[in-house]
Amino acid sequence: MAVKLLSTQTAALETAGSSMILSVSPDGILECLYWGSRIHRAEDFLGETSDCQTVNVDNLQKVREECSSYGSKHFRETSMKIRFADGTDDFRYTVQMMTVGTDPNELEVVLQDIHFPVTVHLYYRVYEEADVIEKWRKIENGGKDPVHLERFFSGEFTLPGEGYQSINYNGRWAKEFHMYSEPVDSGAKVYESFYGLTGHNTNPIFIIHQDAREDHGEVWYGALEWSGNFKTIVEPVNTGFLSVMTGISDSNAAVTLHEGESFTTPPVYAGYAQNGFGEMTRKMHRFADDILAPAEKRKEALPVLYNSWYATTFDVSAGAQIQLAEKAAELGVELFVVDDGWFVGRKDDTAGLGDWSVDLEKFPKGLRELTDRVHALGMKFGLWIEPEMVNCISSLYQKHPDWVYHYQSRRILEQRHQYELNMSDPEVVDYLTDTFDCLLSENDIDYIKWDMNRYQAERGTDTYCPEKWERFEIDNTYGIYRLIQRLREKHPEVEFEACASGGGRVDYGALRWFDEYWPSDNSDPIDRLAIQEAYSFLYPIRYMRAWYTQDEGMNHRLVPMDFSMHVAMTGALGIGIDLNRISEKEEKDLAGYIREYKQIRDTVQLGDLYRLSSFRNSPVQALEYVSRDRKDAVLFAFCLHERYGEELHTVRLSGLDPDKPYAFEIDGKRIAKTGEYLMKRGIDLRLRGDYASALVKIHADDH
Ligand code: GLA
């Protein structure tokens, strides 16, 4: 059983490979006695409490709390802050109840304030096979007086001892997932978004380890299901443990609960891996793909996409798009996407956002002519939209200037000439639902690229309403979720991609509602190898759109097609070049790569990823994907520059069945070896000159 009540006060949450033991301390504090590799006799924890230290400090600083709340004698970061009507700001509780839910995988612990009629429900759900524990909270006001929630994180985690490192990112646009692993020995480390969305800088995940590597060392990790401002705090507490807490950011958000009202936090999904980052990755990829991803497209590999943005930018027209579509179809593309520029008034980025009807100057016969042609060519049709945004020059803004966030006393701040619609306003969300429902119903559209190209800068409206304004951050994100949820319900067959100036919306909140991400506008293959590697730590490959581009790339660098294509083929392949500017030979080569990709994409997108080596510490970056039945594997290897005449590199594989014979071809030569040989001895690859790459397809050899 996944949740075991060991007594009325102690519970064990058990997944296939981990245990978390929760218990009420003698002082009545809910604490985490243990989180780590699976404990087979959880009963041993009965009678144990963490109150065994000898240092002369108050108990509240020693206990590894599950729900610490500001005040009392905490003197450190806490995961909750509640202000009661009389100004009291510490929530002191008794544990009222610890019970297994109607679902045997769920545990609920109810904390009741000792004076005010306010309860905090801590919920836990165990995904036994996936090795994931989900936490979320509900705060309820049962009294007449309002209660002010000033911090309301989703979950808190603690690990005993010192010497931990924390992994997160310090990126920006075109440099998403710039990864750091830093010691957390003193002072709280805060990872936070102030952008109004997840953003390009840090990410709402946590990865904690003590010198772990790809294939060894313990790792504790988690991901928050939230696409708005978040805050994660990692703090070494001076009484000997590490505290990690995450949730909606409280920097610019608060919630007032009136009588009978409650607030439920978004969930955080947490896991433990005994054998390094690779194990963590494979567990979370499976969990995300199999359990969290929208059910309609789950377990389906994404089609090969062509996007005309780099070819045309805003200069789209029916004729030119049809011409591109014809070329794309010849290459074997399966989904043809028209990016920005198709709607009325959109000649550049200064106008048009908000007016989501087709520009009849560019498409005199409407979109139909193009969609019919694309479908006749055997491809799906996709379109770019940016629902949350409006340009000042648009009829939507002229009609509803009150729908954008603004302060009455100030000029509205623009980014890319655009304003942000107030998605917390149900009227705005209803309007957008109708607009896009109409667009999808009237046109034959199979895919939507949902973009978001500005950061939040002001959260105000015509009338100041403190309680509403304090919640804008939160309700805005829920407004976005409501819109995508409704569109998905009405159009379940449509594939949705989450983009925000590249990878600004890569998070587990978007993962729940979208089928894929655009991880970065940077498609330079060298940068992409780093971005994609760090992305892949906790985000699935099937969600990772990766395009082949050429000189449109970031660093004015021309990289040979085979290297660039191989990089794009390590994810969900897309083509982004101007097909009018390529030679016949390039066309032929591209078609060959696309054909090859279709043979391997199920393994790449739906298999298990092994990061065999990385440019971070090796001249060769090697990635291996293994199908879940271990019958197929795909190996990619990249070397930027041959040096010291060393052209031969041995790569040892992983994840194969040691007893199974496998076969593959290298340089036209067929080789057959057992999984054991391939994993212990490895394959020799010749990576010669600059920008060398290799792709090896390995199959179980049943002959
Ligand atoms: C953003 C996206 C790009 C492209 C443009 C269109 O920058 O990240 O991929 O769609 O918008 O304006």
Give the 3-state secondary structure of 632-645. EEEEEEEEEECECC
634 CA distance to ligand 1 middle (Å): 31
Give the pLDDT of residue 434.
98
Asked if residue 110 lies in contact with residue 9, where contact means CB atoms within 8 angstroms, the answer is no
Tell the residue nearest (CA) to atom 1 of ligand 1: 501
What tokens were used for 144? Answer: 């007449």
Nearest CA to ligand 1 atom 5: 340
Distance CA 79, CA 102 (A): 27
Task: For residue range 648-693, list pLDDT tens digits in order.
Answer: 999 999 999 999 999 999 999 999 999 999 999 999 999 999 999 9
Run of H or E including 677: helix 675-680
Task: Please name the helix (run of DSSP H) or strand (run of DSSP E) that holds residue 299, with its range, or none.
Answer: none
Determine the Cα–Cα distance for residues 189 and 386; give it in Å rounded to an integer.
Answer: 34
Residue pair 341/310 in contact (Cβ under 8 Å)? The answer is no
Binding site membership of 521 for ligand 1 (Cβ less than 6 Å): yes
Q: Give residue 50's pLDDT.
A: 62
pLDDT at 49: 66
Angle value at C-alpha 486, between 485 and 489, nearest 5 degrees: 85
Distance 501 CA to ligand 1 centre (A): 6
Pocket test of ligand 1: the residue of 450, 452, 521 to mutate, having most ligand atoms within 8 Å of its CB, is 521
For 362-376, the DSSP string reads: T-TT-SHHHHHHHHH
CA angle 487, 286, 565 (to 5 degrees): 80
Tell how far the Cα of 268 is from the centroid of ligand 1, in angstroms: 30
Is the CB of residue 388 below 6 angstroms from any atom belonging to ligand 1?
A: no
* 349 CA → ligand 1 middle, Å: 10
Closest CA to 271 of 244, 293, 308: 244
Give the integer Cα–Cα distance in Å for 611 and 624: 6
Return d(Cα 44, Cα 62) in angstroms, integer. Answer: 21
Q: In what order do the strands lie in the sheet with 661-666?
A: 608-613, 620-626, 632-641, 690-700, 661-666, 669-674
From residue 627, give the alpha-carbon distance in Å to each of 212, 214, 306.
25, 19, 26
**Active site residue: 289, 355, 451, 632, which one?**
451
What value, to the nearest 5°, has the Cα angle with vertex 473 and ends 469 and 474?
Answer: 105
Distance from the CA of 548 to the center of ligand 1, in angstroms? 16
Task: Specify the pLDDT at position 86.
Answer: 97
CA-to-CA distance for 278 and 403, rounded, in angstroms? 46
Q: What is the DSSP letter of 42?
A: G
Q: Specify whether 521 is catalytic.
A: yes
Q: Where are the alpha helices (DSSP H) in 85-156?
A: none
Ligand 1 in reach of 310 Cβ (< 6 A):
no
Quick one: pLDDT at residue 54? 45
Contacts of 74 (CB under 8 A, 6+ apart): 60, 61, 68
Strands 93-100 and 155-160: unpaired
Look-up: residue for tokens 């433990």?
Answer: 272
Nearest alpha carbon to residue 632 among 644, 643, 624, 640: 624
SS3 category, 623? strand
C-alpha span between 597 and 603 (Å, rounded): 10
Assigned token pair, 151: 């911090």
Beta bridge partners of 107: 100, 124
Which residues in the chain show pLDDT less than 70?
A: 1, 49-57, 552-553, 703
CB 465 within 8 A of CB 471: no
340 ligand 1 Cβ < 6 A: yes
What is the signed CA dihedral for 542, 545, 548, 551, rounded to 10 degrees?
-160
State the first-to-last Cα distance of the chain, in angstroms, to the nearest integer.
Answer: 43
The pTM of the full predicted model, rounded to 2 decimals, is: 0.97
pLDDT on residue 552: 60
Which of 78, 34, 122 is closest to 233 using CA atoms? Answer: 78
Residue nearest to ligand 1 atom 2, measured at CA = 501
Beta-bridge partners for 626: 608, 633
Extract the runs of DSSP E, i.e. beta strands, from 465-544: 495-498, 516-517
- Looking at the CA of residue 339, tell me the nearest atom of ligand 1: 10
Which residue lies with its CA nearest to atom 3 of ligand 1? 501
309 lines ligand 1 (CB under 6 A): yes
Pairwise CA distance, residues 44 & 38, whole Å: 13
Whether 596 lines ligand 1, by a CB cut-off of 6 Å, is no
Q: What's the 498 CA to ligand 1 centre distance in angstroms?
A: 11
Yes or no: say if 204 and 508 are a contact pair by the CB < 8 Å rule.
yes
Amino acid residing at 699: H
Question: Ligand 1 centre from 48 Cα, in Å?
Answer: 56
> Is residue 339 within 6 Å of ligand 1 at its C-beta?
yes
